[in-house]
Amino acid sequence: MDEIRITDALTGAVIAVAPDGNTARVSEGEDRHLSPSVFFPGCSLLNYAPALVSVLADFLAQAGVADGTSLLCCGKILDFEEDGAVRRAAADEALRTAVAAAGVERIVAACPNCAAALKRALSGGEGAPAVEVAPLPRVLAEMGCRIDEDVVARVLEAKRRAADGEMRLWVHDSCPDRDGYGFGRGVRALLPDSLLIEENLMPSSRCCGSAARAAGRFEAALAQGARRGDEAASHGASALVTACMSCAPSLALAQEALPVVHYLEFICDYPMDWRASARPMALRFLLEDEGERARCDGRAFMSLSPCAGGAL
């Protein structure tokens, strides 16, 4: 499969990403153009399923829903690093500047973590641009997209978990989506009503275990994920469905009772092995201010090419 090429709407750089999500290069640069609506896939989707980024970017563009795509990192990762607060503030300011320069009025976010981080970044600072951050599943539902029962059966069969008898789906709601549950409600609108479990119709977030894992409490993280699987299984679920590509590998590693499916696997008929996908992310394109010290580890988006000789 050829490289996936995306012109970043917020920087003008053209990024070529390898199909496996392990390498990327800045192939050329372009002048930024106005992009009132931007698709923001986030690091997890880019690393785990770059092919889906390309498919969704094209689909949203052809439907007139997104004028461009940005592969930038939302900057949340900086909270966990040394001098994180200072670096996060600088990254947020740089993001606000780029968004304003591109004339962005709406960002369609594929990741609940990114959505929360973007809302935080774009609501802070004097003169911050007024930008709507819209959850991708809600946008897809509003476009009229729906998930077919046949696709559900096909994806589950590909995961070697064909349901014996009636298929039932349990939606796992991610923690960053608690403010309005745009992702949780959007996923439920996309799924066939006949497959939804009555006790799971209203969104309710319980952590998949990633917060404990980030704190180094790995056993607690696995136990938390296992409880989510047990809860869904106790209600007769055939699979756990999530809208978060961080929750998906976390839940898959923590339990084997139920297969874990990201709803985009259904939308795109693209089954994924989350246990195999659970690896450190190679690609994070940070847009930091020009005063940030030169970094040659591939982290800063604008220094990706000079630092690594054109490749990550």
Residue pLDDT, tens place only, 117-168 = 999 999 866 666 789 999 999 999 999 999 999 999 999 999 876 555 689 9
Q: Which of 248, 58, 57 is nearest to 155 (CA)?
A: 248
Q: Residue 197: pLDDT band by 50, 70, 90 thresholds? A: very high
- Does the CA dihedral 10-13-14-15 come out positive or negative? negative
User: Is the pLDDT confidence value at 26 over 60?
Assistant: yes
User: Is the pLDDT confidence value at 176 over 70?
Assistant: yes
User: Is the pLDDT confidence value at 177 over 50?
Assistant: yes
Instruction: Taking residues 85-103, report their average pLDDT.
Output: 89
User: What is the residue extent of each domain of the chain?
Assistant: 4-140+282-308, 146-276
CB 299, CB 107: distance < 8 Å: no
Name the residue with higher pLDDT: 104 or 287. 104
Instruction: Taking residues 1-5, report their average pLDDT.
Output: 81
pLDDT score for 70: 95
User: Is the pLDDT confidence value at 278 over 80?
Assistant: no
pLDDT in tens, 247-276: 999 999 999 889 999 999 999 999 999 988
User: Is the pLDDT confidence value at 30 over 50?
Assistant: yes
To the nearest 10 degrees (0 to 180), the angle between helices 182-190 and 112-123 is 140
CATH 3.30.2170 is the classification of domain 146-276 = no
pLDDT score for 164: 59
User: Is the pLDDT confidence value at 174 over 60?
Assistant: yes
| CB-based contacts of 58, cutoff 8 Å, min separation 6 | none
Q: Is 251 exposed, middle or buried (0-12, 13-18, 19+ CB in 10 A)?
A: buried
User: Is the pLDDT confidence value at 307 over 50?
Assistant: no
Instruction: Taking residues 102-114, report their average pLDDT.
Output: 96
Q: Residue 8: pLDDT band by 50, 70, 90 thresholds? A: very high
Of 29-33, 39-43, 96-100, 289-293, give the range with the top mean pLDDT.
39-43
Q: Residue 106: pLDDT band by 50, 70, 90 thresholds? A: very high
pLDDT score for 112: 97
pLDDT in tens, 201-244: 999 999 999 888 877 888 999 999 999 999 999 999 999 999 99
| pTM for this model (two decimals) | 0.88
Mean pLDDT, the chain, rounded, equals: 86
| Cα 44 versus chain centre, distance | 5
Contacts 24+ apart (CB under 8 A), 141-150: 141/186, 141/189, 141/190, 143/63, 143/65, 145/190, 145/267, 146/190, 146/192, 147/190, 147/191, 147/192, 147/263, 147/266, 147/267, 148/192, 149/192, 149/194, 149/195
